[in-house]
Amino acid sequence: MPDKESVILLAHCPDKQGIVAAVSEFIFNNGGNIIDLDQHVDNDSKLFFMRVEWSLENFQIKNGDLQEKFKTEIADKFDMNWKIKFSDEKLRMAVFVSKIPHCLYDILARTQSSEWNVEIPLIVSNHPDLQHIAKAFGIDYYVFPNVKKDKLSIEAKQLELLENHNIDFVVLARYMQILTDSFVSNYPNKIINIHHSFLPAFAGAKPYHSAFERGVKIIGATSHYVTAELDAGPIIQQDIVRVSHNDSVDDLVRKGRDLEKIVLSRAVRAHLSMDVLVYNNKTVVFDN
Amino acid sequence: MPDKESVILLAHCPDKQGIVAAVSEFIFNNGGNIIDLDQHVDNDSKLFFMRVEWSLENFQIKNGDLQEKFKTEIADKFDMNWKIKFSDEKLRMAVFVSKIPHCLYDILARTQSSEWNVEIPLIVSNHPDLQHIAKAFGIDYYVFPNVKKDKLSIEAKQLELLENHNIDFVVLARYMQILTDSFVSNYPNKIINIHHSFLPAFAGAKPYHSAFERGVKIIGATSHYVTAELDAGPIIQQDIVRVSHNDSVDDLVRKGRDLEKIVLSRAVRAHLSMDVLVYNNKTVVFDN
Amino acid sequence: MPDKESVILLAHCPDKQGIVAAVSEFIFNNGGNIIDLDQHVDNDSKLFFMRVEWSLENFQIKNGDLQEKFKTEIADKFDMNWKIKFSDEKLRMAVFVSKIPHCLYDILARTQSSEWNVEIPLIVSNHPDLQHIAKAFGIDYYVFPNVKKDKLSIEAKQLELLENHNIDFVVLARYMQILTDSFVSNYPNKIINIHHSFLPAFAGAKPYHSAFERGVKIIGATSHYVTAELDAGPIIQQDIVRVSHNDSVDDLVRKGRDLEKIVLSRAVRAHLSMDVLVYNNKTVVFDN
Amino acid sequence: MPDKESVILLAHCPDKQGIVAAVSEFIFNNGGNIIDLDQHVDNDSKLFFMRVEWSLENFQIKNGDLQEKFKTEIADKFDMNWKIKFSDEKLRMAVFVSKIPHCLYDILARTQSSEWNVEIPLIVSNHPDLQHIAKAFGIDYYVFPNVKKDKLSIEAKQLELLENHNIDFVVLARYMQILTDSFVSNYPNKIINIHHSFLPAFAGAKPYHSAFERGVKIIGATSHYVTAELDAGPIIQQDIVRVSHNDSVDDLVRKGRDLEKIVLSRAVRAHLSMDVLVYNNKTVVFDN
């Protein structure tokens, strides 16, 4: 973690010669010093991916001008899809929950103890059960009870709420509802879900029951960006834990809880750190 | 590992009170000393599973009489499905391969160095490619080239070969052929396969390609008993290794090789040690 | 997890023939049904270890009489070191902390959400920093500032507090103080510590700095019972996470946090479940 | 893996602005296309590390001239410590063994099956026990029996042998002898050892016995470059496996075998792939 302020560039574009040279020259010629540079080429799609962080200490370009200068001098030349984030920006995150608390506790603890540099203006739920947790951590909690046939109007209200609070991204912390495509399309690659299986195995409902039925010796958890297709979005993080014939479905649920909260948190952290690029329904996760 | 000779009992039966008491009394009253006892109750199926190993040092029942006495005094009473194996018995294993050598090398190295107490009378293949390995380890190698429409007659010859060599169980060490149900039915829960994915994800052909396509962050390998349904038999062992966007399909294949040989070998060892009980298309693997 | 009430026996004694038979007969003859039985023989020390759980549904011996009957009929005969716990007993746990909150958050979340069946009457600290967390979870927080030369009198007050609250065991959740032998001797094998290294590597202060200096590729965390010798007590649980040259000391600290809370919680859970037996400065941890 | 020929540059130097820009310009201006670029800055030592692989397809500099041109135009300017390797070079490796075969089998299998692009001209041992394996794989096997007080003259003969065979690096595949400083100084960061513990825990003799005594719940293996100080050289790879109270020392030895061969092989592969840079008794291992 750098002491001085820094900026992170995340970019992808068609691969061609000279991209690294051009970007590093741009930074160097303007007085920046590269702290971290990671690049990746996908040979199938011939795409080039890059994450560069550089110090602003002696950087000559003002923060307000960087966007425009980089666009003109570099990005347009290479047809880049790109974004930058200054190290002192604080993203705003909404958390969606149902009745299961362990991921919520974990997220709130990390935020309250400044492990993460993020703002949580609100928690959304379809049940009042976890309201006391939100209260203990001093965060507003909005309940939208499930009403059949009324999903779209509920989501409309939720979207309005998110917009009013300038939410940058959404975390589904064991939110047991399926979002409509329309909702998802408002936050492309900005809704992170935790699925309690080692995807693509056991997508859909009750994965621990299915894992038990199949007699697997390892269970997993998967964090991914939400897309229109259920449990099929780009995977950000996965991890596993061993199980045995001794483990009942309840034991899988218990062992899975720790997995879920860790795997979800790693994804949130990667998102916050600008480590994740999405293409082709897959992710490049630069290990920053 | 006991110095003196010992015997292992593997049994399952409907759960009821007093099974452990009856078996341990039987052993105790006949002068045996329990070295290891493991039991498991499956609450769904109400089945009881047990693995007991006891020392024969002061055991009063002769090896030749044990089968009969245990049947009459214990097994029949509890309606047990059971088998016993004396520690000095050496099982006979056949290995089936195609063109990929790493699992074969690993199996032969373990056997030649006496890591395993097993006899390998023969290797069967549909290609001559690995013959030189068999030769270097001094084992007969039989080639049955794939002939369309002639699968059953080839399998008939293979079965005859296995029978002539008194083969106890078969290991498919990256054997890229699907066995017919008829073949499999000759060796129920006695054919061990290694599948190069974390089943049930990516069953069937080219799992590393599918894993790459899906963008998973972890790949796996699964050893299982072969049943009529492809890649759906009872799972014995699984393990995983991390991958990233940096890994091409070739990298997955490379990382997977080490997984495959370790996971297959753990299954073979568990089978040899009488650690595995099968029921309901699942396994109980007692960690001996 | 059994629906009906059950009881757990944890016992060890010199190994001899017939222990399993005697115990399982005792349970069976009194109408109990064994839910889970695990045993272990340590061949070096010739000690026998056992954990048995049985259902009280049709058990003929009253809870109040079990202690006495088991002692007379079984324990005394085999010279057993033993204890029993009924499934509805709730242990009382004290948590000691300093300034680092992640383990405390994790413990309180598990307790408040009933993941654990435990009572936390109080939190003890040498700093006021985490008082707000205790308050949010509604638990009393006692501050004993470090005063040089006054350690024993502070500990005396702490011990009095623990006694007044009928504390059964103590968890050091990143408590950065060393307890005196005298304090420890009051809670033998009842104080659980989390050390932020893979013991015995990097015992003592600043293990992440030492791990960074040595250039290890994996870091670990270790939960253990506290004994007179620093970081040398019986190990209950360990786990690890990969690191690389990319990771600074700060990164090790960050990655370690998740390890620490998981490894500490697994130890607390094992302790609560009567899964842990201590002998010879080592543990038998029955995987219940 | 690139189809066309490529070249890998491995370099480190004092960190300063513009290194990445200069190197990538050098490659770009001469018609090379970067396949993979990885860089790392060690903030403590202010050192810059880099691994770049580029395609030679349209590269204008002849292989024979690259060394000189890179030196003049780049390396000297940045005071670089560097080396290059063309993708078609085949390194020559000597393997040292004692009586334990599993690592040797694994190395020979990988080499014979072309998993590795390496030449093994000879195997050196202090015992004749593994001669039959060398023979089966068609490799010369030289026995130098241990003779007290004669270590230096034996090593002198071994060094002569290595020199005569143009050996590039040495792998100690469970070679149970300690090499003298003088021997080691001939192959700095070119002798790879596998130690059967999770270093720095349990350095020296009989680590599995020590691990058993301490009651650890995880054991490990460590591959490292050999230096003058025993088991204290720069760590290349580590991995672990879980153990429990059920595992005897023999079980640790058995479980450790698979770890040892995998962890040693990962180190050999990293060395062959020019992924490893050493500084300050630590390694940078670029995950190629």
Report residue C34 as tokens.
């064994």
A280: chain B residues, CB-CB within 8 Å? 215
Probe site for chain C from A99, A110, A249 (most C CB atoms < 10 A): A110
In 3D space, the residue among D192, D136, D138 whose CA is nearest the CA of residue D169 turns out to be: D192
* Residues found in chain C: 288
Which site among B49, B213, B218 would you substitute to test the A interface, given the most A Cβ atoms closer than 10 Å to its Cβ?
B218
pLDDT of residue B1: 44
Q: Choose, from A168, A231, A247, A275, the residue flagged as catalytic.
A: A231
Q: Which residues from B are below 8 Å from D262, CB to CB?
A: 258, 262
> Among residues of chain B, what percentage have pLDDT more than 90?
87
Q: Is the reported ipTM for this assembly greater than 0.85?
A: yes
Contact C258 A262 (CB under 8 A): yes
pLDDT digits (tens, 9 = 90+) for A206-248: 999 999 999 999 999 999 999 999 999 999 999 999 999 999 9
- Interchain proximity B235–A217, CB inside 8 Å: yes
Q: What is the pLDDT of residue A2?
A: 44
Q: How many CB pairs under 8 A join A and D?
A: 41
Neighbours of A169 (CB within 10 A): 19
A136: phi then psi, degrees, rounded to nearest 5: -60, -30
CA distance B253 to B271: 26
CA distance D163 to chain C (A): 31
Reply yes or no on whether the pLDDT at A3 is more than 60: no
Cα–Cα distance for residue pair B264/B267, rounded to 1 Å = 5
Q: With contacts defined as CB-CB under 8 Å, which chain C residues touch D215? A: 234-235, 280-283
Sheet order of strands, D140-143 included: D140-143, D118-125, D91-97, D169-172, D191-195, D218-225, D235-242
Angle at C29 between CA C27 and CA C30, to 5 degrees: 65
How many CA atoms lie within 13 Å of A278's alpha carbon, on the beta-carbon side?
17
Query: What 3-state DSSP class applies to A140?
Result: strand
Interface of B with C (CB under 8 A): 17-18, 20-21, 24-25, 27-28, 32-39, 41, 242
- The shortest CB-CB distance from A25 to any of D25, D34, D39 is to D25
The span from the CA of C171 to the CA of C174, in Å, is 9
Asked whether the beta carbons of residue A20 and residue D24 sit closer than 8 angstroms, the reply is yes
How far is residue B8's CA from residue B67's CA, in Å, rounded to a whole number? 12
Nearest to C137 among A110, A136, A265 (CB): A136
Residue of chain C whose alpha carbon sits nearest to that of A105: C109
Nearest to D237 among C42, C217, C220 (CB): C217
Min Cα separation A51/chain D (Å): 12
Across the interface, whether the CB atoms of A265 and C258 are under 8 A apart is answered yes
The CATH class given to the D91-285 domain equals alpha beta
Topology of domain B6-86, CATH: Alpha-Beta Plaits (3.30.70)
Q: Are C75 and C48 in contact (CB under 8 A)?
A: no
B2, B87 Cβ separation under 8 angstroms: yes
Q: How confident is the model at residue A288 (pLDDT cuts 50, 70, 90)?
A: low
Nearest to A18 among D18, D28, D41 (CB): D28
Q: Do B237 and A217 touch (CB under 8 A)?
A: yes
Can you give the pLDDT at residue B4?
65
In chain D, which stretches have pLDDT less than 70?
1-4, 288
Residues in CB range of C51: below 8 A, 6 or more apart: C8, C9, C10, C11, C36, C37, C38, C39, C274, C275, C277, C286, C288
Specify the long-range contacts of residues A248-256, CB closer than 8 Å, at least 24 apart: A248/A212, A248/B43, A248/C1, A249/A208, A249/A209, A249/A212, A250/C1, A252/A208, A252/A211, A252/A212, A252/A219, A253/A208, A254/C115, A255/A219, A256/A196, A256/A208, A256/A219, A256/A221
Of the residues C106, C231, C247, C275, only one is catalytic, namely C231
Cβ pair D250:B136 closer than 8 A: no
Tell if the CB–CB gap between C28 and B41 is shorter than 8 Å: no
CB D225 within 8 A of CB D234: yes
Cα(D21)–Cα(B213) distance, integer angstroms:
33
Torsion of CA A121, A125, A131, A133, to 10 degrees: -70
pLDDT digits (tens, 9 = 90+) for A170-220: 999 999 999 999 999 999 999 999 999 999 999 999 999 999 999 999 999
B259/B239 Cα distance (integer angstroms): 7
Terminal-to-terminal C-alpha distance of chain A: 10
CA pair distance D219, B133, nearest whole angstrom = 33
* Structure tokens given for A99: 């009745």
Would you list which residues of chain B are within 8 Å, Cβ to Cβ, of chain D? 1, 101-102, 105-106, 109-110, 113, 115, 136-137, 244, 246, 248, 250, 254, 257-258, 262, 265, 287
The residues spanned by each domain of chain B are: 6-86, 91-285
Residue with tokens 């796996």: B220
Cβ–Cβ gap C38/B38 under 8 Å? yes
Q: What's the CA gap between B266 and B262, in Å, rounded?
A: 6
* Digitized pLDDT (tens) for each residue of chain C, 288 residues in all: 445 689 999 999 999 888 988 999 999 999 998 888 888 888 788 899 999 999 999 999 999 999 999 999 999 999 999 999 998 899 999 999 999 999 999 999 999 999 999 999 999 999 999 999 999 999 999 999 988 788 999 999 999 999 999 999 999 999 989 999 999 999 999 999 999 999 999 999 999 999 999 999 999 999 999 999 999 999 999 999 999 999 999 999 999 999 999 999 999 999 999 999 999 999 999 975
Q: pLDDT for B86-136, tens place per residue?
A: 988 999 999 999 999 999 999 999 999 999 999 999 999 999 999 999 999
Q: Which residues of D are catalytic?
A: 231
Which chain D residues touch A if contact means CB-CB below 8 Å? 17-18, 20-21, 24-25, 27-28, 32-39, 41, 242
Mean pLDDT along residues B148-170: 95
Mean predicted confidence (pLDDT) in A271-275: 96
B202 and A200 in contact by Cβ < 8 A? yes
Across the range B136-155, mean pLDDT stands at: 93
Contact at 8 Å (CB) between C252 and C237? no
The pLDDT of residue D288 is: 56
Chain B residues inside the 8 Å CB shell of A267 = none
Q: Tokens at residue D35, please?
A: 């396949």
